Amino acid sequence: MTVRALPVGDRALLVELDSGEAAQALHAELLRRRAAGALTVREIVPAARTVLLDGLDEPGRLAAELPGWEVPPVATRTQEAIEIPVRYDGPDLPDVAALWGVPETEVARIHSAADFRVAFCGFAPGFGYLTGLPPAYDVPRRPTPRTAVPAGSVALAGPYTGVYPRASPGGWQLIGTTDVVLWDHTRVPASLLSPGARVRLVPVTGRGDGAVGPS
Amino acid sequence: MSDRALAVVRPGALTTVQDLGRPGHAHLGVPRSGALDVPAAALVNRLVGNQPAAAVLETTLDGCAVRPRATVTVAVGGAPCPVSVDGRPAPWGAPFRVPGGALLDIGAARSGVRAYVAVSGGVAVESVLGSRSTDLLSGLGPPPLTAGAVLPLGRPVGAPARVDLVPQPAPPAELVLRVTLGPREDWFTARAVRTFTTRAYRVSSASNRIGLRTEGPALERALSGELPSEGMVLGAVQVPPDGHPVVFLADHPTTGGYPVLAVVRPADLPAAAQAAPGTPVRFVAVRHR
């Protein structure tokens, strides 16, 4: 594992890795160590290729120790998946099909076949950046962002799939819709998705056809 | 009426409910939020006998006016400003009683930006993820105050402090921000780093609770392209493509893709919260501790 630990102020470290997979593996290891009481830190924030540790007493000591850690790769397919029913009815479905070079009807099959993982959250509370689609299916953002993307929109940008927790502006390619509530601050946990979670998108047709989201 | 609540008469340009914020949820995309001038909020809470985590009002430049429905103890601090009760002058920086039904008016800041108003018992709006703070980026917490809104108050827990007046730092005539360079110093030219730490900037009027924006010499990148999204800390100095440094304040996004040139020492952020648009800003590089 190639690890670069960059100081961020006096109480934080930005740990940079050489891939998204390595960042996810380190994130899982950090959570294990924190749960075991071996690490005291206020925030562990994974992102595309980094993990930020904020609120450390001795960032220098951790920076020195990190390269010596044994970090196992993330366990795939052992963890139970959160299922999100998706209607593949987004307005950008034709554009995505063209970018992928497949018929429109194939997009749902290809997309829902992926074994997704929440690489990180950001942009809005409960917005997860899901990875798992093969790199051949990366797509650019829309050239002009939409001023309003409806809540529950399932969207693609770069290597990521995301679901908009609430209506907001956005530049991602919209391929579908879900009725699952991604964020509800009165629920525990408030966020359906958290970094490291495994996710399956289940194609459904029509509204309220019996597909059940996780409670 | 004698219920414990505040009726909003004049909300001002932007008045929000703030406490210590909701740190610990950044991994879910939840900003920390909370009072920008933490020592000022803590002081007014102490003056009225509240716990440090009690929610207060944070005003922006032109104050606000509220009518408590029950008799309460109030303290105003942060940005110096005129304070009155039913038109009669009341103290700034010291606790005083406001009878139920009287009009408490917090005037425009004489200097600085944000006044803090603590009311005995604290503002007791619904707590979201452990905090009552309004987060302007994510929309969590109560909306900013509007005329006619009614804010519930909690039960007082302690006695008001017995003081005549407590010293508070004056809003900065010049904002000096100590910074440690990095983590993305290498994304900028050596000349840009020198410019950043030696030249004068000014607080931009586009500043808000998300970030203190600056005007001044643009900083040139050594690397072009986009940085993959990475975690952001309070006080991070992010440099967007226009080259003008932005200092992240409490409602900052949890991740971002513009390089962070430096990080401001946390002790210098309360002064940043009180630096009005046009205030000169200097960034002074200090070594990592």
CA distance A48 to A73: 16
Comparing CB atoms, the residue among A50, A125, A127 nearest residue B140 is: A125
User: CA triplet B249, B78, A43: central angle to 5 degrees?
Assistant: 30
Domains of chain B (ranges; CATH) run 5-152 (no CATH), 175-285 (2.40.100.10)
Stretch B231-247: mean pLDDT, rounded? 97
pLDDT of residue B161: 85
What distance in Å separates residue B258's CA from the closest CA in chain A?
Answer: 13
> What is the bridge-based pairing of β-strands B280-285 and B175-181?
parallel
Q: Contact A29/A71 with Cβ under 8 angstroms?
A: yes
Interface check A34 vs B, CB under 8 A: no
- How confident is the model at residue A74, as a pLDDT? 87
- Nearest C-alpha neighbor of B289 from the set A4, A7, A55: A7
Residue in A6, A47, A194 nearest the CB of B183: A6
B186 at interface of A, judged by CB pairs closer than 8 A = no
Interface probe with A: pick from B20, B22, B28, most Cβ of A within 10 Å: B28
Burial class of residue B289, CB neighbours in 10 A (0-12, 13-18, 19+): exposed
pLDDT score recorded for residue A215? 39
Taking CA B46 as the corner, what is the angle to CA B45 and CA B52, rounded to the nearest 5 degrees?
Answer: 60
Average pLDDT over residues B191-205: 98
Sequence-ordered alpha helix ranges (H) in chain B: 38-48, 190-198, 269-273
- What is the arithmetic mean of pLDDT over B16-20? 98
Distance (Å) from the alpha carbon of A110 to chain B's nearest alpha carbon:
25
Instruction: Tell me which chain A residues have a C-beta less than 8 angstroms from the C-beta of B235.
Output: 9
Q: How high is the ipTM of this complex?
A: 0.94
* Cβ neighbours around B127 below 10 Å, total: 15
Does a cis peptide bond (omega within 30 degrees of 0) precede residue A195? no
pLDDT tens-digit series, residues B2-16: 589 999 999 999 999
3-state secondary structure of A8: strand
Q: What is the pLDDT of residue B1?
A: 43
A137–B contact, CB cutoff 8 A: no
CB distance B284 to B263 below 8 Å: no
Contacts of A120 in chain B (CB under 8 A): 27, 229, 255
Distance, in Å, from the CA atom of B266 to the CA atom of B80, rounded to the nearest integer, reads 22
Class of residue A200 by CB neighbours under 10 A (exposed 0-12, middle 13-18, buried 19+): middle
**Residue B266: both structure tokens together:** 């946390």
Q: Which residues of B touch A166 (CB under 8 A)?
A: 139
Q: Quick check: bond before B183 cis, omega within 30?
A: yes
Burial class (CB in 10 A: 0-12, 13-18, 19+), A199: buried
Asked whether the predicted pLDDT for residue B285 surpasses 90, the reply is yes
Measured between beta carbons, the chain A residues lying within 8 angstroms of B261 are: none
Taking the C-alpha atoms of residue B286 and residue B179, their distance in angstroms, rounded to an integer, is 6
Mean pLDDT, residues B36-55:
97
Nearest CA in chain A to B178: A9
**pLDDT of B143-191, one tens digit each?**
999 999 999 999 999 888 887 677 888 999 999 999 999 999 999 999 9
Residues of chain A scoring pLDDT < 50 = 209-215
Alpha-carbon distance of B50 to A30, in angstroms, equals 37
Is A85 near chain B, with CB under 8 Å? no
Cβ-based contacts of A125 with chain B (< 8 Å): 25, 28-30, 138, 140
Inter-chain contact B26–A45, Cβ cutoff 8 Å?
A: yes
Nearest of B239, B245, B187 to residue B216 by alpha carbon: B245
Q: Quick one: which of A141, A211, A125, A208 has its CA closest to A174?
A: A141
Query: How many pairs of residues across A and B have Cβ atoms under 8 Å apart?
Result: 106
Q: Cα torsion for A86, A171, A50, B183, to the nearest 10°?
A: -160
Residues B82-86 have a mean pLDDT of 98
Q: Could you report the per-residue pLDDT of B94-148, keeping only the tens digit for each?
A: 999 999 999 999 999 999 999 999 999 999 999 999 999 999 999 999 999 999 9
Domains defined along chain A, listed by start: 3-68 (3.30.1360.40), 81-203 (2.40.100.10)
Q: How far is CA B213 from CA A102, B174, B209, B260, B280, in A?
A: 46, 15, 10, 14, 12
How far apart CA B158 and CA B136 sit, in angstroms, is: 31
* Per-residue pLDDT, A71: 95
* CA B229-A117-B33 angle, 5° bins: 45
Residue B20 has pLDDT above 50, yes or no: yes
